[in-house]
Chains A and B, each alone.
Chain A
Amino acid sequence: MTDQSQPDAVVAEEPKPAPASGKKGLVVALVLVGTLALALGALSAYLWTVHSQYVAQNEELRAEAGDLGADVAASRAKAEELQTQVEATLAQLDEAKETINGLANSEAQAGDDRQALIDVADGLQECADLRQDMIDHLNEAYKWTASSLRAREADITTYCKKVTRAYKEIVDD
Chain B
Amino acid sequence: MTSRRIGAATLAVLIGSTALAGCSALPQGPDPLPSTFIPRVSASASADAGLVGGFAALERDALRVRVRTCDAYGTGSAFAIDATHAVTNAHVAEGATDITVTGYDGKSYRVTSSVLSREADLALLTIKDEFPNLVTLADEEPAIGDTLSIAGYPRGEALKVTSGPYFGETEDTVGEADDRVYQIDAETHPGNSGSAVANDDGDVVGVVYASDDVHATFAVSLPTLKNFLDNLDDAKRNRAECESQG
Contacts and interface: CB of A to CB of B under 8 A. Distances in A.
Interface in B134-150: none
Contact of A46 (B8, B26, B30, B64): B26
A168 interface: no
Contacts of B103: 104
Interface string B1-27: 100100010011001000100100011
A100 B66 contact: no
Given A108-B64, A112-B75, A115-B66, A100 B105 contact: yes
A132 interface: no
Interface in B13-65: 15, 19, 22, 26-30, 33, 37-38, 48, 51, 53-55, 64
14 contacts: A47-B27, A50-B26, A50-B28, A61-B33, A90-B48, A96-B53, A100-B53, A104-B102, A104-B159, A105-B157, A109-B156, A112-B156, A116-B73, A130-B245
- Interface majority SS (helix, strand, loop, mixed), chain A: helix
Interface string A83-108: 00000001001101100111111011
Contacts of B53: 93, 96-97, 100
Contact of A60 (B1, B4, B33): B33
Contacts of A116: 73
Given A43-B26, A93-B54, A101 B37 contact: no
A97 B161 CA distance: 13
Contacts of A36: 15
B106 A104 contact: yes
Interface of B: 1, 4, 8, 11-12, 15, 19, 22, 26-30, 33, 37-38, 48, 51, 53-55, 64, 66, 68, 73, 75, 98, 100, 102-106, 108, 153, 156-159, 245-246
A14 B30 CA distance: 67
A104 B105 contact: yes
A130 B246 CA distance: 7
Nearest to B2: A21
B66 A112 contact: yes
A121 interface: no
A138 interface: no
A115 B68 contact: yes
A45 to B, nearest CB: 12
B157 to A, nearest CB: 6
Contacts of B37: 64, 68
A111 B66 contact: yes
Nearest to B56: A97
A157 interface: no
A28 interface: yes
A72 to B, nearest CB: 10
Given A53-B30, A108-B106, A159-B245, A119 B68 contact: yes
